[in-house]
Chains A and B, each alone.
Chain A
Amino acid sequence: MAAQQDNGLTVQPARTAAQPGAATPGWPTSADQRIWTALGAVFIYLRSMAVFLVIWHLGSRWVGNAILLPSPIDSAEALVELFADGEIFDNVTASLSRLGVSFGLAIVLGVSLGFAMGMNRTIYAMVDPMVELLRPISGIAWIPLGMFILGVGEALPTAIMFYGAFFPIVINTVVGVQAVNPGLVQAARVLGVSQRAIVRHVIWPAALPNILVGARLGAGAGWMAMVAAELIGAPSGLGFAIEWYRELLMTPKVLAFVFIIGLLGYLLDRLLRGLQRRLTPWAQAGGGLT
């Protein structure tokens, strides 16, 4: 259990700490200053990316083989083309709808099971060994068996992503529920509050930061597992598309899809981080759980 707890809680601040752009505003800053800081960050971003693109371009000139390493310009053209003929939307929609179904399911079932395990010791003692047995077997290792049972198609990537997202969510929910400060539960009890109100107004908000960390970890792991599943055993989706264009040796389009996969992964994480900020504003106070 402790493994995932570390994962959940330690990776987190690392990510925020890795952004010098979002440096701590130790002094009260005026709106003007903030705009300048933001512009500065954008400038640094553009400058770094420009340097990277130039190196890439020179590298592709040096390799001189558009199949091995196409230039950034070719790749950008491929991206535009994919947008223009709408092909990209088909694959994005396929992947995102799978994501929606499996991630939604993982959250509902994972959080429910996590609460049951966190609040009831008998359930915990019975289910925890199962979780610990299955957890080390990654979602990706289920792909061959999954192909056999579910066949190549819609169900496989959905199931694999569900599996990948499920465990981080369960484990972080359990940790969150078990780590609720008993002092707060006592404080609610001495105010003569009902058990239901304690679950709703004390345990749920106390566990929420951990649940959201679990959701973010689960989304990351699940997204990766789903791309792998699409690459191996699905007739559509982003993973399928990169593999398809590799076989056709159309590397610029491969790169365009890799870019889209990265972008969607990034947006998903941003979305969940935004959710964290909105849903748990009290956890922003430097408690380590942002």
Chain B
Amino acid sequence: METLEKMTPKICLGGITKEYIAPRTGQRTLAIADVSLDVFQGEFLCIVGPSGCGKSTILNMIAGLARPSRGELVMDGKPIRDPGAERGVVFQDYALFPWKTVRENIEFGPRYRTAGPLSASERDRIVRHYIDLVSLTGAENKYPHELSGGMRQRCAFARALANEPEVLLMDEPFAALDAQTRLILQEELLRIWGEELPRAARKTVVFITHGIDEAVYLADRVAVMSNNPGHIKTIMTVDLPRPRRESLRATAEFQKLADAIWQLIRHEAYEATIDRH
């Protein structure tokens, strides 16, 4: 992990602040204050924090769907302003196109993107590859409403991957799934991401979650966020060996890391359960 600090970051957030101004009253709310964070090539970064701490806002800004009020946001030395095919997003509610089949959903990016759309035969190859990769073979011609939650998640994942982005942004992708499906998909995510590959060949992942276990199990580093206004409290390095397997969760190191993170946010998480109503 020491090597990380010597590399140039893939994505660089420098002093990001996001303010919302209420349209009628003109009242300002500070959602995120002075967030600085470097994300390196090939790393798996998780962001955890209590509800409403601005995790998703940060992800949306990296995706180019929102812009920071202040601060700089750079990827590979170029400022991020708009969404682009090099940054794929998996949304919490999947946002699959209901009128397109699994295949058409996955094909959407390669077919209609402005930057280098693919020919029909190339698309066919890519779509087939990713359908197989996420084990949706046989469901290609189904509509999203015919799929189970887990299959929708797989489809959304394949749609983002098929566009072959350099960075994958995931916004609580497993939040809507039941506990068993979540465990299975976590392991599969690591497999598809390429735990066995050298770092340079892996995709860079920014993964938002409120599950501490999930974060520790998946991540190379965990950024712990805090509320009012949203800021990064600590960044923890998860030095657990890869490839990781289910059994890892039972180890003392795993538990120690998870507990350390929980201690950092439990007070605020508790407050959030009272304050919110």
Bound: A282/B163 CA distance, A: 24
**Segment among B31-39, B107-115, B131-139, B195-203 that sits at the interface with chain A:** B107-115
Residues of B with C-beta under 8 A to A34: none
Residues of B with C-beta under 8 A to A205: 97, 99-100
- Nearest residue in A to B99 (C-beta to C-beta)? A205
Residues of A with C-beta under 8 A to B99: 205-206, 208, 280, 282-283
- Nearest residue in B to A205 (C-beta to C-beta)? B99
- Nearest residue in B to A196 (C-beta to C-beta)? B112
Question: By the criterion CB–CB under 8 Å, are A190 and B89 in contact?
Answer: yes
- Nearest residue in A to B88 (C-beta to C-beta)? A190
**Segment among A87-95, A120-128, A141-149, A180-188 that sits at the interface with chain B:** A180-188
Question: By the criterion CB–CB under 8 Å, are B65 and A189 in contact?
Answer: yes
Question: By the criterion CB–CB under 8 Å, are B97 and A184 in contact?
Answer: yes
Residues of B with C-beta under 8 A to A287: 145
Given A183-B95, A282-B144, A191:B65 Cβ within 8 A = no
Question: By the criterion CB–CB under 8 Å, are A192 and B91 in contact?
Answer: no
Question: By the criterion CB–CB under 8 Å, are B145 and A285 in contact?
Answer: yes
- Nearest residue in A to B92 (C-beta to C-beta)? A183
Bound: A280/B97 CA distance, A: 12
Given A181-B95, A189-B83, A281:B88 Cβ within 8 A = no
Bound: A197/B146 CA distance, A: 25
CB distance from B56 to the nearest CB of A (A): 12
Residues of B with C-beta under 8 A to A282: 98-99, 143-145
Task: Render A139-175 as a binary contact track against B, CB cut-off 8 A, 1 for contact.
Answer: 0000000000000000000000000000000000000
Question: By the criterion CB–CB under 8 Å, are A202 and B97 in contact?
Answer: yes
Residues of B with C-beta under 8 A to A181: 95
Residues of A with C-beta under 8 A to B91: 183, 186-187
A contact face: mostly helix, strand, loop, or mixed: helix
Residues of A with C-beta under 8 A to B144: 282
Contact among A192, A201, A208 for B84, CB-based, below 8 A: A192
Contact among B98, B112, B159, B163 for A283, CB-based, below 8 A: B98
Question: By the criterion CB–CB under 8 Å, are A201 and B65 in contact?
Answer: no
Residues in B97-137 with C-beta less than 8 Å from chain A? 97-100, 108-109, 112-115
Residues of A with C-beta under 8 A to B100: 201, 205
What is the size category of the interface that chain A forms with chain B? 20 to 34
Question: By the criterion CB–CB under 8 Å, are B95 and A184 in contact?
Answer: yes
A193 at the interface (CB under 8 A from B): yes
Question: By the criterion CB–CB under 8 Å, are B112 and A194 in contact?
Answer: yes
Question: By the criterion CB–CB under 8 Å, are B143 and A281 in contact?
Answer: yes
Given A183-B93, A201-B108, A282-B98, A191:B88 Cβ within 8 A = yes
Residues of A with C-beta under 8 A to B109: 191-193
CB distance from B55 to the nearest CB of A (A): 17
B85 at the interface (CB under 8 A from A): yes
Residues of A with C-beta under 8 A to B115: 192
Bound: A202/B105 CA distance, A: 11
Given A201-B108, A201-B112, A192:B98 Cβ within 8 A = no
Contact among B65, B98, B143 for A190, CB-based, below 8 A: B65
CB distance from B114 to the nearest CB of A (A): 5
CB distance from A15 to the nearest CB of B (A): 21
Given A197-B112, A282-B144, A282-B145, A191:B85 Cβ within 8 A = yes
Query: Considering residues B65, B97, B146, which has the most beta carbons from chain A within 10 angstroms of its beta carbon?
Result: B97
Task: Render A204-219 as a binary contact track against B, CB cut-off 8 A, 1 for contact.
Answer: 0110100000000000
B46 at the interface (CB under 8 A from A): no
Contact among B85, B143, B159 for A192, CB-based, below 8 A: B85
CB distance from A237 to the nearest CB of B (A): 38
B64 at the interface (CB under 8 A from A): yes
Bound: A140/B144 CA distance, A: 44
Residues of B with C-beta under 8 A to A193: 108-109, 112-114
B231 at the interface (CB under 8 A from A): no
List chain B positions with a Cβ less than 8 A from chain A.
63-65, 82-89, 91, 93, 95-100, 108-109, 112-115, 143-146, 159-160, 163
Q: A184-B95, A188-B108, A189-B64 are in contact. List 19 more A-B contacts (CB 8 A).
A: A184-B97, A186-B89, A187-B89, A187-B96, A188-B97, A189-B82, A190-B64, A191-B108, A191-B113, A192-B83, A192-B85, A192-B114, A192-B163, A193-B112, A193-B113, A205-B99, A206-B98, A285-B98, A285-B146
* Complex A-B, nearest 6 residue pairs according to Cβ-Cβ distance, in ascending order: A192-B85, A191-B109, A285-B145, A187-B95, A197-B112, A205-B99
Give me 21 A-to-B residue pairs in the complex whose CB atoms sit less than 8 angstroms apart, sorted by A's number.
Answer: A181-B95, A183-B91, A183-B95, A186-B91, A187-B89, A187-B91, A188-B97, A189-B65, A190-B64, A191-B88, A191-B108, A191-B159, A192-B83, A192-B86, A193-B114, A201-B97, A201-B100, A280-B99, A281-B143, A282-B99, A287-B145
